[in-house]
Chain A
Amino acid sequence: MNGASAMTATAGGAGNGRRQTMELGMWVFLTTETLFFGVLFFVYLVMRLAHPEGFAAASRHTDMLMGTLNTAVLLTSSMTMALAVEAATLGRARLASRLLAATLLLGVVFLAIKGYEYRREYVEHLWPGPGFRFEGTNAAGAQTFFWLYFVMTGFHALHLVIGVALVGFMAWRLARSGLGAQSAASIDNAGLYWHFVDIVWIFMYPALYLVSRS
Protein backbone atom coordinates (compact mmCIF):
# COMPACT_ATOMS: atom_id res chain seq x y z
CA MET A 1 0.00 0.00 0.00
CA ASN A 2 1.51 3.37 -1.00
CA GLY A 3 1.17 6.64 0.90
CA ALA A 4 -1.75 7.97 -1.11
CA SER A 5 -3.96 4.92 -0.67
CA ALA A 6 -3.11 4.76 3.03
CA MET A 7 -4.40 8.32 3.26
CA THR A 8 -7.67 7.39 1.55
CA ALA A 9 -8.08 4.43 3.86
CA THR A 10 -7.92 6.62 6.95
CA ALA A 11 -9.33 9.98 5.85
CA GLY A 12 -11.16 8.12 3.16
CA GLY A 13 -13.64 10.24 1.12
CA ALA A 14 -16.61 7.92 0.87
CA GLY A 15 -14.40 4.85 1.08
CA ASN A 16 -14.65 1.77 3.20
CA GLY A 17 -12.63 3.25 6.09
CA ARG A 18 -15.07 6.11 6.46
CA ARG A 19 -18.02 3.75 6.35
CA GLN A 20 -16.52 1.66 9.14
CA THR A 21 -15.84 4.77 11.21
CA MET A 22 -19.44 5.94 10.74
CA GLU A 23 -20.74 2.52 11.76
CA LEU A 24 -18.56 2.43 14.86
CA GLY A 25 -19.77 5.93 15.77
CA MET A 26 -23.38 4.75 15.55
CA TRP A 27 -22.61 1.78 17.80
CA VAL A 28 -21.02 4.09 20.40
CA PHE A 29 -24.15 6.27 20.27
CA LEU A 30 -26.37 3.20 20.66
CA THR A 31 -24.33 2.18 23.71
CA THR A 32 -25.21 5.48 25.39
CA GLU A 33 -28.82 4.87 24.36
CA THR A 34 -28.66 1.40 25.95
CA LEU A 35 -27.67 3.03 29.23
CA PHE A 36 -30.44 5.65 28.89
CA PHE A 37 -33.20 3.07 28.38
CA GLY A 38 -31.44 0.71 30.80
CA VAL A 39 -31.94 3.22 33.60
CA LEU A 40 -35.67 3.41 32.79
CA PHE A 41 -35.88 -0.39 32.91
CA PHE A 42 -33.98 -0.39 36.19
CA VAL A 43 -36.45 2.05 37.77
CA TYR A 44 -39.19 -0.22 36.42
CA LEU A 45 -37.58 -3.27 38.09
CA VAL A 46 -37.22 -1.57 41.47
CA MET A 47 -40.77 -0.22 41.38
CA ARG A 48 -42.19 -3.57 40.29
CA LEU A 49 -40.41 -5.28 43.20
CA ALA A 50 -41.87 -2.63 45.53
CA HIS A 51 -45.44 -2.82 44.14
CA PRO A 52 -45.94 -6.32 42.67
CA GLU A 53 -49.74 -6.29 43.03
CA GLY A 54 -50.15 -2.72 41.80
CA PHE A 55 -48.08 -3.50 38.71
CA ALA A 56 -50.02 -6.72 38.04
CA ALA A 57 -53.40 -4.98 38.38
CA ALA A 58 -52.34 -1.93 36.34
CA SER A 59 -50.78 -3.99 33.54
CA ARG A 60 -54.14 -5.72 33.00
CA HIS A 61 -55.53 -2.29 32.02
CA THR A 62 -53.13 -1.95 29.08
CA ASP A 63 -54.42 -3.09 25.69
CA MET A 64 -52.71 -6.45 25.11
CA LEU A 65 -54.15 -6.92 21.62
CA MET A 66 -52.89 -3.51 20.43
CA GLY A 67 -49.53 -4.01 22.18
CA THR A 68 -49.05 -7.39 20.52
CA LEU A 69 -50.13 -6.04 17.14
CA ASN A 70 -47.70 -3.13 17.51
CA THR A 71 -44.86 -5.53 18.35
CA ALA A 72 -45.59 -7.43 15.13
CA VAL A 73 -45.67 -4.13 13.18
CA LEU A 74 -42.28 -3.09 14.55
CA LEU A 75 -40.69 -6.52 13.98
CA THR A 76 -41.93 -6.40 10.38
CA SER A 77 -40.51 -2.88 9.95
CA SER A 78 -37.12 -4.18 11.10
CA MET A 79 -37.21 -6.76 8.34
CA THR A 80 -38.07 -4.18 5.66
CA MET A 81 -35.32 -1.93 7.05
CA ALA A 82 -32.76 -4.76 6.93
CA LEU A 83 -33.79 -5.45 3.32
CA ALA A 84 -33.48 -1.73 2.49
CA VAL A 85 -29.93 -1.72 3.84
CA GLU A 86 -29.09 -4.78 1.78
CA ALA A 87 -30.66 -3.28 -1.37
CA ALA A 88 -28.65 -0.07 -0.85
CA THR A 89 -25.43 -2.04 -0.34
CA LEU A 90 -26.10 -3.93 -3.59
CA GLY A 91 -26.64 -0.64 -5.40
CA ARG A 92 -30.35 -1.17 -6.08
CA ALA A 93 -31.56 2.36 -5.43
CA ARG A 94 -35.23 2.03 -6.45
CA LEU A 95 -35.77 -1.10 -4.40
CA ALA A 96 -34.00 0.46 -1.40
CA SER A 97 -36.19 3.55 -1.72
CA ARG A 98 -39.38 1.45 -1.76
CA LEU A 99 -38.27 -0.62 1.22
CA LEU A 100 -37.46 2.57 3.15
CA ALA A 101 -40.95 3.85 2.32
CA ALA A 102 -42.46 0.59 3.65
CA THR A 103 -40.40 0.92 6.83
CA LEU A 104 -41.54 4.51 7.27
CA LEU A 105 -45.17 3.50 6.76
CA LEU A 106 -44.92 0.74 9.38
CA GLY A 107 -43.35 3.21 11.80
CA VAL A 108 -46.28 5.58 11.29
CA VAL A 109 -48.75 2.70 11.80
CA PHE A 110 -47.02 1.90 15.10
CA LEU A 111 -47.29 5.52 16.24
CA ALA A 112 -50.97 5.68 15.21
CA ILE A 113 -51.80 2.55 17.24
CA LYS A 114 -49.86 3.93 20.21
CA GLY A 115 -51.80 7.18 19.91
CA TYR A 116 -55.07 5.25 19.91
CA GLU A 117 -53.97 3.46 23.11
CA TYR A 118 -52.96 6.75 24.78
CA ARG A 119 -56.37 8.19 23.95
CA ARG A 120 -58.20 5.20 25.41
CA GLU A 121 -56.05 5.36 28.55
CA TYR A 122 -56.88 9.06 28.87
CA VAL A 123 -60.61 8.33 28.62
CA GLU A 124 -60.23 5.57 31.24
CA HIS A 125 -58.49 7.97 33.67
CA LEU A 126 -55.23 6.05 33.58
CA TRP A 127 -53.01 9.10 33.00
CA PRO A 128 -51.13 9.78 36.27
CA GLY A 129 -52.02 13.00 38.03
CA PRO A 130 -55.10 14.49 39.65
CA GLY A 131 -57.41 12.78 37.12
CA PHE A 132 -56.05 9.27 37.85
CA ARG A 133 -58.76 6.80 38.93
CA PHE A 134 -58.12 3.18 39.82
CA GLU A 135 -60.49 0.71 41.49
CA GLY A 136 -59.20 -1.45 44.35
CA THR A 137 -56.48 -1.23 46.96
CA ASN A 138 -53.50 -0.96 44.61
CA ALA A 139 -54.05 2.57 43.30
CA ALA A 140 -50.63 3.90 44.42
CA GLY A 141 -48.69 1.05 42.77
CA ALA A 142 -50.92 1.25 39.70
CA GLN A 143 -50.26 4.96 39.32
CA THR A 144 -46.51 4.32 39.57
CA PHE A 145 -46.89 1.70 36.84
CA PHE A 146 -48.74 4.09 34.55
CA TRP A 147 -46.27 6.87 35.23
CA LEU A 148 -43.49 4.54 34.04
CA TYR A 149 -45.67 3.25 31.19
CA PHE A 150 -46.04 6.76 29.77
CA VAL A 151 -42.41 7.78 30.36
CA MET A 152 -41.03 4.58 28.79
CA THR A 153 -43.41 4.35 25.83
CA GLY A 154 -43.19 8.15 25.40
CA PHE A 155 -39.40 8.11 25.09
CA HIS A 156 -39.67 5.09 22.79
CA ALA A 157 -42.23 6.91 20.60
CA LEU A 158 -39.95 9.97 20.49
CA HIS A 159 -37.13 7.75 19.24
CA LEU A 160 -39.44 6.26 16.64
CA VAL A 161 -40.52 9.74 15.46
CA ILE A 162 -36.82 10.55 14.97
CA GLY A 163 -36.38 7.19 13.18
CA VAL A 164 -39.33 7.91 10.88
CA ALA A 165 -37.87 11.35 10.04
CA LEU A 166 -34.45 9.78 9.43
CA VAL A 167 -35.82 7.04 7.16
CA GLY A 168 -37.99 9.59 5.33
CA PHE A 169 -34.93 11.78 4.74
CA MET A 170 -32.94 8.78 3.43
CA ALA A 171 -35.76 7.85 1.02
CA TRP A 172 -36.09 11.47 -0.16
CA ARG A 173 -32.33 11.83 -0.73
CA LEU A 174 -32.24 8.50 -2.57
CA ALA A 175 -34.99 9.65 -4.93
CA ARG A 176 -33.32 13.04 -5.44
CA SER A 177 -29.61 12.32 -5.80
CA GLY A 178 -29.40 8.58 -6.29
CA LEU A 179 -27.27 6.06 -4.48
CA GLY A 180 -23.57 6.54 -3.69
CA ALA A 181 -21.20 4.91 -1.24
CA GLN A 182 -21.95 7.74 1.18
CA SER A 183 -25.74 7.35 1.12
CA ALA A 184 -25.48 3.54 1.36
CA ALA A 185 -23.43 4.01 4.54
CA SER A 186 -26.00 6.48 5.93
CA ILE A 187 -28.83 4.03 5.25
CA ASP A 188 -26.80 1.33 6.98
CA ASN A 189 -26.52 3.57 10.06
CA ALA A 190 -30.20 4.56 9.99
CA GLY A 191 -30.90 0.81 9.95
CA LEU A 192 -28.80 0.22 13.07
CA TYR A 193 -30.74 2.97 14.87
CA TRP A 194 -34.08 1.56 13.70
CA HIS A 195 -33.24 -1.97 14.89
CA PHE A 196 -32.11 -0.59 18.25
CA VAL A 197 -35.46 1.15 18.74
CA ASP A 198 -37.11 -2.17 17.83
CA ILE A 199 -35.08 -4.01 20.47
CA VAL A 200 -36.10 -1.47 23.13
CA TRP A 201 -39.74 -2.20 22.28
CA ILE A 202 -39.10 -5.97 22.35
CA PHE A 203 -38.34 -5.55 26.08
CA MET A 204 -41.04 -2.96 26.80
CA TYR A 205 -43.74 -5.27 25.44
CA PRO A 206 -43.47 -7.97 28.17
CA ALA A 207 -42.57 -5.38 30.83
CA LEU A 208 -45.70 -3.29 30.29
CA TYR A 209 -48.33 -5.51 28.67
CA LEU A 210 -47.68 -8.99 30.06
CA VAL A 211 -47.07 -8.54 33.81
CA SER A 212 -50.09 -10.59 34.88
CA ARG A 213 -52.40 -11.92 32.19
CA SER A 214 -53.17 -15.44 33.41
Chain B
Amino acid sequence: MKPLTLRRHLLVWLALLVLLALTAGSALLPLGAFNAVSNFAIAAVKSALVLVFFMHVARGEPAVRVVAAAGLLWLGFLVALSLTDFLARGY
Protein backbone atom coordinates (compact mmCIF):
# COMPACT_ATOMS: atom_id res chain seq x y z
CA MET B 1 0.00 0.00 0.00
CA LYS B 2 1.30 3.39 -0.92
CA PRO B 3 1.47 5.73 2.08
CA LEU B 4 -0.32 9.08 2.21
CA THR B 5 1.67 12.31 2.37
CA LEU B 6 0.34 12.69 5.90
CA ARG B 7 3.18 14.89 7.15
CA ARG B 8 2.63 17.58 4.52
CA HIS B 9 -1.12 17.62 5.08
CA LEU B 10 -0.64 17.95 8.85
CA LEU B 11 1.84 20.81 8.36
CA VAL B 12 -0.59 22.72 6.13
CA TRP B 13 -3.39 22.10 8.66
CA LEU B 14 -1.15 23.35 11.47
CA ALA B 15 -0.25 26.47 9.46
CA LEU B 16 -3.98 27.12 8.88
CA LEU B 17 -4.73 26.82 12.61
CA VAL B 18 -1.80 29.10 13.51
CA LEU B 19 -3.13 31.70 11.05
CA LEU B 20 -6.60 31.33 12.58
CA ALA B 21 -5.16 31.94 16.07
CA LEU B 22 -3.21 34.91 14.69
CA THR B 23 -6.29 36.53 13.14
CA ALA B 24 -8.47 35.91 16.21
CA GLY B 25 -5.74 37.24 18.51
CA SER B 26 -4.91 40.32 16.44
CA ALA B 27 -8.63 41.15 16.18
CA LEU B 28 -8.63 41.67 19.97
CA LEU B 29 -5.85 44.29 19.77
CA PRO B 30 -6.78 47.92 19.03
CA LEU B 31 -4.99 48.41 15.70
CA GLY B 32 -7.53 50.70 14.02
CA ALA B 33 -7.90 50.19 10.28
CA PHE B 34 -5.02 47.70 10.37
CA ASN B 35 -7.37 45.19 12.08
CA ALA B 36 -9.43 44.81 8.91
CA VAL B 37 -6.31 44.80 6.69
CA SER B 38 -4.61 42.03 8.68
CA ASN B 39 -7.84 40.00 9.02
CA PHE B 40 -8.42 39.89 5.27
CA ALA B 41 -4.73 39.50 4.44
CA ILE B 42 -4.61 36.43 6.71
CA ALA B 43 -7.82 35.12 5.08
CA ALA B 44 -6.13 35.49 1.67
CA VAL B 45 -3.06 33.56 2.87
CA LYS B 46 -5.27 30.79 4.32
CA SER B 47 -7.16 30.56 1.00
CA ALA B 48 -3.89 30.38 -0.91
CA LEU B 49 -2.76 27.46 1.29
CA VAL B 50 -6.04 25.62 0.61
CA LEU B 51 -5.87 26.37 -3.13
CA VAL B 52 -2.25 25.24 -3.52
CA PHE B 53 -1.96 22.29 -1.12
CA PHE B 54 -5.52 20.90 -0.96
CA MET B 55 -6.94 21.86 -4.39
CA HIS B 56 -3.57 21.46 -6.19
CA VAL B 57 -4.27 24.46 -8.38
CA ALA B 58 -0.61 24.75 -9.39
CA ARG B 59 -0.29 21.05 -10.23
CA GLY B 60 -3.35 20.81 -12.48
CA GLU B 61 -3.46 21.41 -16.19
CA PRO B 62 -3.08 25.00 -17.47
CA ALA B 63 -6.80 25.23 -18.36
CA VAL B 64 -7.68 24.86 -14.65
CA ARG B 65 -5.45 27.79 -13.75
CA VAL B 66 -6.90 29.89 -16.58
CA VAL B 67 -10.46 29.20 -15.34
CA ALA B 68 -9.55 29.91 -11.69
CA ALA B 69 -7.75 33.14 -12.63
CA ALA B 70 -10.65 34.20 -14.90
CA GLY B 71 -13.09 33.83 -11.99
CA LEU B 72 -10.99 36.10 -9.79
CA LEU B 73 -10.40 38.55 -12.64
CA TRP B 74 -14.11 38.95 -13.38
CA LEU B 75 -14.90 39.26 -9.69
CA GLY B 76 -12.27 42.00 -9.59
CA PHE B 77 -13.93 43.81 -12.52
CA LEU B 78 -17.32 43.52 -10.84
CA VAL B 79 -16.08 44.96 -7.55
CA ALA B 80 -13.84 47.68 -9.02
CA LEU B 81 -16.37 49.01 -11.53
CA SER B 82 -19.28 48.89 -9.06
CA LEU B 83 -17.20 50.69 -6.44
CA THR B 84 -16.62 53.60 -8.82
CA ASP B 85 -20.35 54.24 -8.39
CA PHE B 86 -20.69 53.62 -4.64
CA LEU B 87 -17.52 55.47 -3.62
CA ALA B 88 -18.60 58.49 -5.71
CA ARG B 89 -21.73 58.74 -3.54
CA GLY B 90 -19.64 60.14 -0.73
CA TYR B 91 -19.29 57.39 1.85
Once bound together, how far apart are the Cα atoms of A39 and B82, in whole Å? Answer: 10
* Contact indicator B51/A199 (Cβ below 8 Å): yes
User: Do the beta carbons of B29 and A92 come within 8 Å of each other?
Assistant: no
* Residue tally, chain B, CB below 8 Å to A: 50
A71 in contact with B54 (CB, 8 Å): no
Residue pair A24, B20 in contact (C-beta under 8 Å): no
Q: Which residues in chain A, 77-94, are within 8 Å of chain B measured between CB atoms?
A: 78-79, 81-83, 86-87, 90-92
* Contact in complex: A78, B74 (CB < 8 Å): no
Q: How far is the CA of A50 from the CA of B83 in the complex (A)?
A: 12
Q: Shortest Cβ distance from A53 into chain B, in angstroms?
A: 12
A176 to B79, CA, bound (A): 46
Interface size on A, residues (CB 8 A): 49
- By a CB distance below 8 angstroms, the chain B residues around A27 are 64, 67-68
**How long is the Cα–Cα vector from A19 to B51 in the complex, in angstroms?**
19
Q: Which residue of B lies closest to A27 (CB)?
A: B67
In Å, the complex CA distance between A68 and B30 comes to 19
CA A163 – CA B81 in complex, angstroms? 33
Contacting B91 at CB < 8 Å: which of A28, A31, A50, A198?
A50
Tell whether A206 is near chain B: CB-to-CB under 8 Å. Answer: yes
Residues 28 to 82 of chain B near chain A (Cβ within 8 Å): 28-31, 35-36, 39-40, 42-43, 46-47, 50-51, 53-55, 60-61, 63-64, 67-68, 70-72, 74-75, 78-79, 82
Smallest CB separation, A54 vs chain B (Å): 13
Taking CB atoms, residues of chain B closer than 8 Å to A210 are 23-24, 27, 35, 39
* A134 CB to nearest B CB, Å: 21
Within 8 A of B (CB), among A55-108: 64, 68, 71-72, 75-76, 78-79, 81-83, 86-87, 90-92, 95
Task: Give 21 A-B contacts (CB < 8 Å), ordered by A residue.
Answer: A23-B64, A24-B61, A24-B63, A35-B71, A39-B78, A42-B82, A46-B86, A79-B54, A82-B9, A83-B6, A87-B4, A92-B1, A95-B4, A195-B50, A206-B43, A211-B36, A213-B28, A214-B27, A214-B28, A214-B31, A214-B35
